[in-house]
Chains A and B, each alone.
Chain A
Amino acid sequence: MVDVLFFVFAAMAVGGAFGVVLQKNPVASLLFMVGTLGAIAGIFVLFEAHFLAAVQVIVYAGAIMVLFLFVIMLLNLGHDYRADIRSGIGAFLAFAVSGAFAGLLARQFRGAEENPLYQRFPGPEGMDALLAEQGIVGAIARPLYTDYVVAFELVAILLLVALVGAVALAKRRV
């Protein structure tokens, strides 16, 4: 069941990503992107990362994408545009390179279970134990505020930089 669902969500995510690239209308592209993000949220649920899935839906698919949509509407960009890659050879190359890279990556997972390194990743049983012990939020919150507290603080500075920069660039009067 989980395997079937995984492939359904994976196909949705990949199909949505193709839609983002192939659509000429920005609004349609954007809606495909919402679909991709939603499918990835589904995959998170299959991995028992319910909190991540919820955040993905609320923050990404919900808030950020709606914001994108607002900007596109506000700037009146909702028309069809010519493709960025004009020549057929360019388009072929773009798909060939991404396809080759995807194939290369896919090959890596054959026989992955035999690698001793595989034990480093918790796996389904490990995840179940972790979730039973710390809860869905705790499994994220604990490392976030202990092991990665420095990264957390640095994100705060990063957001401050973005905020100051946005105000400095977009303020009405100079």
Chain B
Amino acid sequence: MTLDFVSRADFIWALLPEIVLSCWAMAILLVGVWEKERPGLPPRNLRLLAWLSVAGLAATAGVNGWLYGVSGTDASGMIALDSFRLFANWIFLLGAALTILVSLPYIAKQRLQAGEFYTLVLLATVGMMVMAGTRNLILLFLAIETMTISAYVLTAYHRADRRSAEAGLKYFILGAFSSAFLLYGIALTWGATGSVNLAEIAQTIEAGAGFTGLLMAGMALLGVGFAFKVGAVPFHMWAPDAYEGAPSPSTAFMAAAVKAASFAALLRVFLEAFPGLYEAWYPVMWWLAALTMLVANLIALSQSSVKRMLAYSSVAHGGYLLVGVTAANEFATASVLFYLLVYTIMTIGAFGIVMIVSGHGEERLQVDDYAGFGWQQPVLGVLLTIFLLALAGFPGTAGFMAKIFLLQGAVESQLWTLAILLALTTVVSYYYYLRVAWYMWMRSADAGEPAIPVVAPGIVRFTLIGSAAVMIYLGVLPGAVLEGAISAAEHFGVVAGEAFMGLAR
């Protein structure tokens, strides 16, 4: 099927995944209010809502797969019909589905409003999908707002918890601040090039037209806005507080899917609109990447709360990903996509077990609380160990392969210093990841302290085991997924072509 967008109806086909998911989210909202409220008890249809949401995500994934067979005549249209968008969509859909499955007992225990929670997660996912799939800066801004406003609400969602409200407010104020930067950057870019279409902006820049100073200012403001959204040092202040205060399911969703979407949009804007200005933006990205890796890893070393440690680890992973963005060749872009997929799975997996240990609440979040957990709950202990090893980038896990590909991308663009920094900070990060594992297996719980009560329904266990299995599988045989990422990253590169060695070919 070929779409030419002469008829507006073609937009419906091009946006079918987003449309299906939006309608499904509204249906879930209706199902959610159908049930009569029982004060102090979780809604009776909680499981139904969760499964309906996952079914909606699965249906969207199906449509997403169907879109691979659809091509557009116009490679610069408002809606991109490329496999970059489709690959990114897989990541978002997977992130949302894993979050919903893993957080089922948390929502029940904390009596959160399930219908609205799932609706917001799904609509945030719609925003993410548009973020990865649009070439229009106006649409991009609206999509980012759709995603972040959902994220603000999800952060403040635990109304009985003061920290959640505080985190939500902080995130909201700093997020609105960064959105203003983005919007100003978009306005200046439009003023400098006369277009809000990424492909047309790139053409104008290549032709040497456009107001250079205005364009630089616009690009700088866009860069600041994106640096806030991806939580790059020194624009990361909101991230640890928001991640720590938010209810754990929201934290998992934000740390994984929201970050993935911000990176997808960052890649699309800077590699599709500004490849001609690579000389100007690459030093900035270089410093952002270097600072983020160094600062976040060093602060993470001194954290005693596992949730806060994971928050800083999420910032640090943003730094590794920025190395891929700085390298900006096709393979580096593919490796960023691969990394985002792996990162989404391992982060949500780790948060899933943190939720179980913390009793689906916000207690027992310190590293000490994990003493002896491995021997009490061998299955969950092994799973958490796998996720931590993957996050650390241990050989044999997917995290290792993802980092190797990032390194390869960096080396192809001859970013030696960044590559060395990436390797060194990874070694530093072993300490704080393995410390949790060490407490789990090598320390025994204090005498007299009761064993950690564990509530982990079959579906949660099944999800976590599946995620861990994928982590091992991708660590041993990454070829098929990497090839998908490479074909998705086609045409996304500044130094495209010659230096490309093609590991999977």
Which chain B residue has the least Cβ–Cβ distance from A168?
Answer: B116
Instruction: Count B-side interface residues using an 8 Å CB cutoff.
Output: 48
**Residues of chain B lying within 8 A (CB to CB) of residue A74:** none
Question: Are A169 and B159 also in contact (CB < 8 A) when A117-B194, A161-B150, A162-B149 are?
Answer: yes
| Of A64-72, A107-115, A124-132, the one touching chain B | A107-115
Stretch from A2-10, A31-39, A85-93, A143-151 contacting the other chain: A143-151
Q: Is the CB of B152 within 8 A of A104?
A: no
Binds B, one of A18-26, A50-58, A134-142, A152-160: A152-160
Chain B residues positioned under 8 Å from A154 (CB to CB):
130, 139, 142-143, 146
Residues A164 and B217 in contact, CB atoms below 8 Å apart: no
Contact check, A112 vs B39: say whether CB atoms are below 8 A apart: no
> Smallest distance from the beta carbon of A159 to chain B beta carbons, Å?
10
B113, B117, B209: the one within 8 Å of A115 (CB): B209
Known: A154-B130, A158-B146, A168-B116. A108 touches B26 (CB 8 A): no
Decide: A165 near B150, CB < 8 A? Known: A115-B211, A117-B194, A174-B159: yes
Answer whether A155 and B123 are a contact pair too, CB < 8 Å, given A108-B211, A169-B156.
Answer: no
Tell whether, in the assembled complex, residue B211 and residue A112 are in contact, meaning their CB atoms are under 8 Å apart: yes
Residues 126-180 of B contacting A (Cβ, < 8 Å): 126-127, 130, 136, 138-139, 142-143, 145-146, 149-150, 152-153, 156-157, 159-160, 168
**Cβ of A95 under 8 Å from chain B:** no
B119 located at the interface, meaning its Cβ lies under 8 Å from any Cβ of chain A in the complex: yes
CB of A81 within 8 A of chain B? no
B8 in contact with A168 (CB, 8 Å): no
How far apart sit A95 and B364, CA to CA, in the bound complex (Å)?
Answer: 46
User: Which residues from chain B contact A162 at a C-beta distance below 8 Å?
Assistant: 149
Is B461 engaged at the interface, CB distance under 8 Å to the other chain?
Answer: no
A165 with B11, Cβ < 8 A, contacts A115-B209, A155-B142 known: no
Contact B139 A150 (CB under 8 A): yes
Q: Check A158–B194 contact: CB distance below 8 A.
A: no
Find out whether the CB atom of B157 lies under 8 angstroms from the CB atom of A160: no
Task: Report the nearest A residue to B124, measured CB to CB.
Answer: A161
* CA distance in complex: A87, B238 (Å): 23
Q: How far is the CA of A83 from the CA of B436 in the complex (A)?
A: 44
Measured CA separation A165–B211 after assembly (Å): 41
Are A120 and B194 interface neighbours, CB within 8 A? yes
Q: Indicate if B300 sits at the interface (CB-CB under 8 A).
A: no
Q: A164-B29, A174-B111 are in contact. Are A105 and B214 (CB under 8 A)?
A: yes
Q: Does B213 contact A (CB under 8 A)?
A: yes
Interface membership of A116, Cβ < 8 A: yes
**Residue B15, interface by CB 8 Å:** yes
A146 CA to B7 CA, complexed, in Å: 10
A34 to chain B, nearest CB (A): 19
Tell me the complex Cα distance, A116–B194, Å. 11
Give the docked Cα–Cα distance between A107 and B214 (Å).
9
Q: Total A-B residue pairs with C-beta atoms closer than 8 Å?
A: 95
Q: How far is the CB of A88 from chain B (nearest CB, A)?
A: 23
- Do B146 and A165 have beta carbons less than 8 Å apart? no
Q: Closest residue to B159 on the A side, CB-wise?
A: A174
Closest CB-CB distance, B483 to chain A, in whole Å? 31
A158-B145, A158-B146 are known contacts. Are A107 and B153 too (CB-CB below 8 A)? no
Q: Which chain B residues (85-134) contact chain A, with CB distance < 8 Å?
A: 111, 113, 116-117, 119-120, 123-124, 126-127, 130
Given A104-B213, A150-B11, A168-B157, A161 and B149 contact (CB-CB distance below 8 Å)? yes
Q: In the complex, are the beta carbons of B11 and A117 less than 8 A apart?
A: no
Contact B116 A167 (CB under 8 A): yes
CA–CA, A120 to B211, complex, Å?
A: 13
When the two chains form their complex, are residues B209 and A157 in contact, meaning their CB atoms are under 8 A apart?
no
- Tell whether B313 is near chain A: CB-to-CB under 8 Å: no
Question: CB < 8 Å: which of A104, A146, A161, A165 contacts B8?
Answer: A146
Decide yes or no whether B78 CB sits under 8 A from chain A. yes
Cβ of B463 < 8 Å from any Cβ of A?
Answer: no
Q: Which residues of B contact A160 (CB under 8 A)?
A: 26, 123
**Cβ-closest chain A residue relative to B29:** A164
> Which residues of B have CB within 8 Å of A117?
193-194, 204, 209-211
Q: How far is the CA of A108 from the CA of B188 in the complex (A)?
A: 11
CA distance A151 to B11 in the complex (A): 11
**Residue of A with least CB distance to B214:** A108
Q: Are B142 and A151 in contact (CB under 8 A)?
A: yes
Residues in B whose Cβ lies below 8 Å from that of A149: 8, 11
Q: List 12 A-B contacts (CB under 8 A).
A: A117-B194, A117-B204, A146-B8, A148-B138, A150-B11, A151-B138, A154-B130, A157-B146, A158-B127, A161-B127, A174-B113, A174-B160
Given contacts A117-B204, A157-B146, 15 further A-B contacts (CB under 8 A): A105-B214, A116-B209, A120-B194, A121-B194, A150-B78, A150-B79, A151-B136, A151-B142, A154-B130, A158-B127, A164-B123, A164-B153, A168-B113, A173-B37, A173-B39
The 7 closest A-B pairs by CB, nearest first: A165-B153, A120-B194, A168-B116, A108-B214, A154-B142, A108-B213, A158-B146
